[in-house]
């Protein structure tokens, strides 16, 4: 019926790739090249490992080791739903692999890749899988830790409602990203998202920035100017560093929230505004209330829905994931081909307390990109502040004899049940520790203080 395989392959509405064990591409049909990998027409890709696929929980999918374990386990097929960057877009694909042997040739893999992005809506409704909103959030806000899962859930809930949201957390934890996600997922997404950094203005300027002014209302007010509240009409206003605003603006803000109207500085005409407020702060507002610096009534008006961002220290196991994410980001930006960080650097990154949180981690990787020689980031490429960090010196000494334990040991100890001494670790945490040790089971078992057999049982139980 078909003259040959090629004719059939070019007819099918799915990607077909044949590759050898080293993932060298021996055949690729046009659909895979143009629709899945988004390559230019005449471009012939040589190795499948040059393309990054992600699992649906945004981990980089390690094609090489997956295919190797498939062969080692004597399996001939493998199926998984994956994400792939296709040009500027991201596609959800159903990835199915079969091994076969061609006469006189080595083992070959046949990849069948079906684009299922348009079926996202169906997926949204099937329990147990991720929803569209969550998919969008996870694409921008990286993290697998239980605390982040909760944040994704809170963002979806906030987006579905109209209430004011207060995002709290240390500097660099992603508060602004949360505001972006809430707006982007809400019904107001086609309206404006207006951002005001409340700490960047003097008292008078902030007032005119927020509420606008009429000509001549103060020196320098040469013409009428609408404020940010008016500009945010129909959308969302993000009030960053809300803990910095003074008492008189706090009173005015309270009025805006209660009456949904504003008056420009120098004008007594009320203008109706319709916007949702997302406020953020790295200050402890309750402390400011106690000190009479922040109004309690305003706090309750803003804090209708509260999202508290965890520090990076509290979600250590997300570090390998974030490192990969930023490497990918800077590879795209700089055209470099950095593959990863070496073990010592990752270990140091896992131990370092990251006072500047994710922003500081991002800056560290960006710094390393300038210095990196080759495709693996090494200790010497990291900022000096990190290199000179010595956990043993900084770790609080609780009992004599413990002062030489590194943070990683404390970290491994944290998975032990205090009474029974048994290992208590969930799937995400185990994945993080495995990643940290390049999936070397001996080193992972050593790190966790368990036997290789015990580790193997866990890996099997979690179906890693």
Ligand X SMILES: Nc1ncnc2c1ncn2[C@@H]1O[C@H](COP(=O)(O)OP(=O)(O)OP(=O)(O)O)[C@@H](O)[C@H]1O
Binding site for ligand X (CB under 6 A): 141-143, 169, 171-177, 282, 358-359, 362
Nearer to ligand X, 97 or 167 (CB): 167
Nearer to ligand X, 370 or 453 (CB): 370
| 282 touching Mg ion, by CB under 5 A | no
Select the binding partner of residue 277 from Mg ion, ligand X, none (C-beta < 5 to 8 A, by kind).
none
Select the binding partner of residue 438 from ligand X, Mg ion, none (C-beta < 5 to 8 A, by kind).
none
Nearer to Mg ion, 156 or 168 (CB): 168
Those residues with Cβ within 8 angstroms of residue 107's Cβ, 6 or more apart along the chain or in another chain: 20, 21, 71, 99, 100, 101
| 90 touching Mg ion, by CB under 5 A | no
Among the listed residues 28, 14, 25, the one whose alpha carbon sits nearest the alpha carbon of residue 96: 14
| 176 touching Mg ion, by CB under 5 A | yes
Select the binding partner of residue 212 from ligand X, Mg ion, none (C-beta < 5 to 8 A, by kind).
none
Chain CA centroid to CA 398, Å:
35
In whole angstroms, the minimum distance from the beta carbon of 229 to Mg ion comes to: 20
Among the listed residues 110, 91, 85, the one whose alpha carbon sits nearest the alpha carbon of residue 99: 110
CA dist., res. 157 & res. 209, Å (int)? 30
Nearer to Mg ion, 57 or 176 (CB): 176
Report helix, strand or coil for 311. Answer: coil
What is the number of the residue whose Cβ is closest to ligand X? 174
| 197 touching Mg ion, by CB under 5 A | no
In whole angstroms, the minimum distance from the beta carbon of 321 to ligand X comes to: 9
- The sign of the dihedral angle between the CA atoms of 307, 312, 316, 317 is positive
| DSSP state letter for 174 | S
Select the binding partner of residue 174 from ligand X, Mg ion, none (C-beta < 5 to 8 A, by kind).
ligand X
In whole angstroms, the minimum distance from the beta carbon of 143 to ligand X comes to: 5
In whole angstroms, the minimum distance from the beta carbon of 40 to ligand X comes to: 30
Nearer to Mg ion, 34 or 363 (CB): 363
In whole angstroms, the minimum distance from the beta carbon of 355 to ligand X comes to: 11
Select the binding partner of residue 171 from Mg ion, ligand X, none (C-beta < 5 to 8 A, by kind).
ligand X
- The sign of the dihedral angle between the CA atoms of 45, 50, 55, 58 is negative
107-115 β-sheet, strand order: 25-28, 15-20, 107-115, 89-101, 77-86, 53-55
Nearer to ligand X, 173 or 345 (CB): 173
Contact segment (CB under 5 A) with Mg ion among 29-37, 40-48, 175-183, 198-206 equals 175-183
Chain CA centroid to CA 324, Å:
11
In whole angstroms, the minimum distance from the beta carbon of 382 to ligand X comes to: 17
In whole angstroms, the minimum distance from the beta carbon of 169 to ligand X comes to: 6
Nearer to ligand X, 27 or 308 (CB): 308
CA dist., res. 211 & res. 231, Å (int)? 10
Two tokens, residue 120: 């996202």
Residue 178 and residue 307 in contact, taking contact as beta carbons nearer than 8 Å: yes
CA dist., res. 295 & res. 288, Å (int)? 8
In whole angstroms, the minimum distance from the beta carbon of 239 to ligand X comes to: 12
CA dist., res. 120 & res. 22, Å (int)? 32
Nearer to ligand X, 142 or 302 (CB): 142
Contact segment (CB under 5 A) with Mg ion among 173-181, 242-250, 341-349, 436-444 equals 173-181
Contact segment (CB under 5 A) with Mg ion among 49-57, 62-70, 122-130, 172-180 equals 172-180
In whole angstroms, the minimum distance from the beta carbon of 19 to ligand X comes to: 32
Nearer to Mg ion, 131 or 356 (CB): 356
For the stretch 334-350, what's the b/e string if a residue is b when 16 or more beta carbons lie within 10 angstroms of its beta carbon? eeeebebbeeebbbbbb
* Other C-beta atoms lying within 10 Å of the C-beta of residue 184: 17
Two tokens, residue 462: 């979690």
Contact residues toward Mg ion (CB under 5 A) are 176
């Amino acid at each position: 019926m078909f003259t040959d395989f090629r004719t059939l392959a070019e007819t099918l509405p799915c990607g077909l790739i044949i590759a050898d064990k080293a993932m060298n591409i021996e055949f690729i049909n046009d659909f895979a090249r143009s629709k899945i990998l988004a390559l230019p027409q005449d471009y012939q890709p040589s190795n499948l490992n040059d393309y990054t696929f992600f699992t649906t929980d945004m981990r980089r999918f390690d094609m090489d080791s997956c295919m190797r374990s498939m062969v080692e386990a004597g399996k001939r097929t493998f199926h998984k739903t994956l994400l792939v960057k296709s040009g500027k877009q991201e596609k959800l694909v159903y990835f199915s692999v079969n091994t076969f042997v061609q006469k006189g040739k080595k083992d070959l893999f046949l990849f069948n890749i079906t684009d299922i992005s348009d079926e996202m809506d169906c997926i949204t409704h099937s329990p147990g899988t991720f929803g569209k909103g969550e998919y969008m959030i996870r694409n921008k806000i990286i993290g697998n830790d239980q605390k982040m899962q909760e944040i994704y859930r809170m963002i979806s809930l906030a987006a579905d409602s109209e209430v004011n949201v207060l995002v709290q957390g240390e500097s660099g934890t992603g508060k602004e990203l949360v505001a972006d996600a809430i707006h982007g997922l809400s019904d107001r997404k086609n309206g404006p998202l207006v951002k005001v950094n409340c700490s960047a203005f003097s008292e008078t300027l902030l007032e005119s920035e927020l509420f606008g002014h009429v000509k001549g209302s103060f020196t320098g007010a040469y013409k009428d100017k609408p404020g940010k509240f008016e500009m945010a009409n129909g959308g969302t206003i993000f009030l960053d560093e809300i803990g910095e605003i003074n008492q008189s603006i706090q009173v005015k803000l309270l009025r805006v929230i209660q009456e949904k109207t504003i008056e420009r500085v120098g004008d007594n005409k009320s203008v109706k505004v319709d916007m949702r407020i997302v406020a953020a702060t790295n200050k402890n507002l309750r402390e400011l209330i106690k000190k009479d610096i922040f109004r309690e009534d305003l706090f309750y008006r803003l804090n209708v829905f509260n999202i508290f961002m965890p520090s990076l220290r509290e979600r250590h196991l997300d570090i390998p994931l974030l490192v990969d994410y930023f490497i990918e980001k800077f590879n795209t930006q700089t055209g470099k081909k950095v593959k990863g960080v070496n073990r010592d650097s990752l270990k140091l990154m896992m131990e370092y307390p990251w006072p500047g949180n994710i922003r500081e981690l991002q800056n560290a990787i960006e710094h390393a990109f300038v210095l990196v020689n080759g495709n693996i980031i090494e200790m010497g490429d990291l900022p000096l502040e990190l290199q000179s960090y010595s956990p043993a010196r900084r770790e609080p000494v609780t009992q004599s004899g413990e002062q030489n334990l590194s943070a990683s040991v404390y970290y491994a100890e944290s998975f032990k049940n205090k009474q029974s001494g048994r290992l208590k670790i969930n799937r995400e945490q185990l994945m993080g520790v495995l990643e940290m040790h390049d999936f070397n089971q001996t080193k992972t078992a050593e790190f966790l203080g368990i036997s290789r057999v015990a580790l193997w049982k866990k890996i099997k139980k979690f179906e890693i």
